[in-house]
């Protein structure tokens, strides 16, 4: 009898469920939307009186549809440690420098947290909506659940703890990127970012750079002071940013210096190509898209745009403007397509109101010819620290020898020191000569290569100096000949003038006699 009774009971339950589903389908199809909304509203209200738990949602979507919510990503970073211990289903992404996998909670998973004796539950949710005939929209979110009697403790202390801890975890685990701005014509509406990126894996560091140790230490201390200066910058009322101007001959390590800065501070790098920005407005858009803890780099700024003569262009005479109608149509069209980023726009980018968006940014300019730049662009307050990267000194050579050959002393060092005092050579040339070219190359051969390169550079410098001296002598002789010629012409002209005066006097005397 018992099995029959159980069978009848389950049959009754199944029939009841089927009836409920049928009635619910009829209600969903034929009940007016307004009436269903009315019932849902009061259902939630009634449920709120009896449900002792409070829920806080953290949706992935932000106000800007192409960006993830910062709160969502911070919670995701915070829960990564909790999820790896408690969740049954995880998702994995590459972590910092692609060296390890980071685990986080997959959708429809739940983990438990505890804060000052209070239990809190986190759940990962996903809702799929049909946004079109062939397009589905996914909405991800994290749901925080806690008892209502802990409302004040959770909203005031726990959430602050989550945001602080999540941001620190996110910074430690993030993959650092090297960004470059996309050309303007490649900015479709659906594009998620104005920058394209790759993983930043440059190995440069201050320890491996060929530079004077005292100067190197000064730069390192300045960078570390800046990175820890959030409260100081807020106190003095300045945006948390700093400008660096790196200048010097080619091959002196300006790009390597930028990579070393990024590795020291653990910053992303944004390599800004000014010629790819159409105008000042797009330059500001690119600035807004950069993140904190980043270095914005404009390399060879003297070559990027004609920033030195733009002020002079405004003072041209109106007659030159009248000639514009006579210019070929092709030239006018090319000018319209040309870059319209101005010196004023770049100054505002570096030090204007828009430069204060975000924080903890370095702005770095590099140039081979600092004298070509407008003084307003590189003044203190915009480019706060000017760093000259010059030719290789003996102290810088010793750092390179230690790095490339593991040498701190060698009999050939005295010869190299003497030659470096007599000639100029860039750190890039020194490094190239110190680098072994085969497995048979030892320290002696590499140092011999460097000595030959220094001797050759010295000979070329002496030859160039002799040519310059000869050229100066020829110019001096030519100038002297021109002076002599001018003097002879002056004497001849003076004599001619005297003869003319004499003739006139004779004619006047003859006329008087007549």
Q: How far apart, in Å, are the Cα atoms of 342 and each of 277, 350, 382?
A: 11, 13, 16
Q: What is the largest CA-CA distance in the chain?
A: 172
Q: Say which range, 213-217, 255-259, 358-362, has the weakest mean pLDDT.
A: 358-362
Q: What percent of the chain has pLDDT over 90?
A: 19
Partners of 121 in beta bridges? 112, 145
Q: Which residue has the tokens 């140790």?
A: 213
Q: Which residue has the tokens 């996914």?
A: 138
Residue 272: per-residue pLDDT: 92
Spatial contact of 415 and 394, defined as CB atoms under 8 Å apart: no
Residue 182: per-residue pLDDT: 82
Higher pLDDT residue, 304 or 454? 454
Q: Say which range, 50-59, 183-192, 502-511, has the weakest mean pLDDT.
A: 183-192
Q: How confident is the model at residue 99 (pLDDT cuts 50, 70, 90)?
A: low
- The sheet carrying 241-247 orders its strands as 195-199, 177-181, 268-271, 294-298, 361-367, 241-247, 385-388
Higher pLDDT residue, 65 or 41? 41
Mean pLDDT of 317-322: 45
Q: Say which range, 36-50, 226-240, 291-305, 496-510, has the weakest mean pLDDT.
A: 36-50
Spatial contact of 436 and 446, defined as CB atoms under 8 Å apart: yes
Residue 34: per-residue pLDDT: 67
Residue 353: per-residue pLDDT: 81
Average pLDDT, the chain: 81
Per-residue pLDDT tens over the stretch 433-484: 998 888 888 888 899 989 999 988 888 888 888 888 888 888 888 888 888 8
Q: How confident is the model at residue 135 (pLDDT cuts 50, 70, 90)?
A: low
Phi, psi of 49 (to 5 degrees): -70, -30
Q: Is the pLDDT of residue 332 over 70?
A: no
CATH topology for 178-318+339-388 is: Rossmann fold (3.40.50)
Continuous H helices in 192-297: 213-227, 230-236, 254-265, 280-289
Q: Is the pLDDT of residue 319 over 80?
A: no
User: For the chain, how far is it from start to end, CA to CA, in angstroms?
Assistant: 172
Read off the tokens for 353: 């109101």
Q: How confident is the model at residue 225 (pLDDT cuts 50, 70, 90)?
A: very high
Mapping DSSP onto H, E and C, the string for 430-459 reads HHHHHCCCCCCCCHHHHHHHHHHHHHHHHH
Instruction: Count the Cβ atoms, other than its own, within 10 Å of residue 279.
Output: 13
Instruction: Count the Cβ atoms, other than its own, within 10 Å of residue 347.
Output: 17
Q: What percent of the chain has pLDDT over 70?
A: 82
Q: Give the β-pairing of 135-147 and 53-59.
A: antiparallel
Which residue ranges make up each domain of the chain?
17-51, 52-173, 178-318+339-388
Given CA atoms 353, 358, 360, 363 in this order, what sign does their dihedral have?
A: negative
Spatial contact of 158 and 115, defined as CB atoms under 8 Å apart: yes
Q: How far apart, in Å, are the Cα atoms of 306 and each of 183, 196, 303?
A: 19, 26, 7
Residue 40: per-residue pLDDT: 67
Q: Among 389, 428, 447, 390, which Cα is nearest to 455's? A: 447
Per-residue pLDDT tens over the stretch 174-200: 788 899 988 766 555 544 568 888 888
Q: How confident is the model at residue 264 (pLDDT cuts 50, 70, 90)?
A: very high
Q: Is the pLDDT of residue 393 over 60?
A: yes
Q: Is the pLDDT of residue 39 over 80?
A: no
Q: Is the pLDDT of residue 1 over 60?
A: no
Q: Is the pLDDT of residue 312 over 50?
A: no
């Amino acid at each position: 009898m018992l099995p029959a009774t159980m069978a009848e009971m389950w049959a009754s339950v199944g029939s009841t469920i089927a009836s409920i589903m049928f009635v619910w389908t009829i209600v969903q199809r034929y009940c007016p939307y307004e009436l269903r909304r009315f019932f849902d509203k009061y259902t939630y209200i009634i449920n709120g009186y009896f449900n002792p738990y409070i829920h806080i949602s953290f949706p992935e979507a932000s106000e800007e549809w192409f960006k993830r919510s910062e709160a969502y990503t911070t919670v995701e970073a915070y829960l990564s440690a909790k999820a790896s211990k408690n969740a049954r289903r995880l998702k994995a992404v590459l972590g910092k420098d692609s060296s390890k996998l980071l685990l986080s909670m997959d959708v429809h998973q739940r983990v438990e947290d505890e804060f000052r004796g209070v239990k809190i539950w986190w759940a990962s949710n996903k809702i799929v909506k049909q946004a079109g005939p062939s397009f589905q929209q996914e909405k991800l979110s994290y749901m925080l659940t806690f008892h209502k009697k802990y409302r004040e403790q959770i909203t005031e202390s726990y959430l602050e703890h989550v945001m602080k801890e999540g941001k620190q975890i996110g910074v430690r685990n993030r993959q650092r990127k090297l960004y470059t701005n996309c050309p303007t014509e490649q900015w479709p509406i659906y594009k998620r970012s104005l920058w394209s990126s790759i993983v930043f894996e440059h190995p440069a560091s201050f320890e491996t750079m060929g530079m004077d140790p005292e100067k190197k230490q000064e730069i390192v201390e300045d960078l570390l002071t800046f990175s820890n200066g959030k409260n100081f910058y807020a106190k003095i009322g300045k945006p948390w940013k700093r400008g660096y101007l790196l200048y010097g001959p080619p091959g002196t390590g300006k790009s390597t210096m930028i990579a070393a800065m990024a590795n020291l501070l653990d910053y992303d790098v944004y390599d800004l190509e000014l010629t790819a920005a159409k105008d000042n407005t797009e330059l500001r858009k690119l600035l807004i898209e950069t993140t904190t803890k980043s270095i914005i780099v404009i390399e060879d700024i003297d070559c990027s745009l004609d920033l030195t003569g733009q002020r002079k262009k405004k003072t041209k005479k109106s007659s030159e403007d009248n000639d514009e109608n006579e210019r070929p149509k092709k030239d006018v069209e090319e000018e319209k397509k040309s870059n319209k980023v101005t010196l004023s726009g770049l100054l505002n980018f570096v030090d204007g109101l828009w430069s204060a968006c975000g924080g903890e940014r370095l702005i770095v300019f590099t140039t081979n010819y600092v004298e070509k730049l407008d003084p307003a662009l590189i003044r203190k307050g915009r480019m706060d620290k000017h760093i000259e990267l010059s030719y290789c000194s003996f102290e810088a050579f010793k750092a390179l020898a230690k790095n490339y050959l593991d040498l701190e002393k060698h009999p050939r060092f005295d010869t190299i020191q003497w030659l470096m005092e007599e000639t100029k050579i860039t750190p890039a040339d020194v490094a190239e000569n110190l680098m072994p070219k085969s497995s048979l190359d030892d320290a002696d051969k590499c140092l011999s290569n460097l000595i030959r390169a220094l001797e050759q550079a010295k000979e070329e410098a002496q030859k160039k100096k002799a040519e310059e001296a000869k050229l100066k002598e020829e110019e001096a002789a030519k100038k002297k000949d021109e002076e002599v010629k001018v003097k002879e012409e002056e004497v001849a002209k003076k004599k001619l003038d005297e003869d003319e005066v004499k003739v006139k006097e004779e004619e006047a005397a003859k006329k008087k006699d007549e």
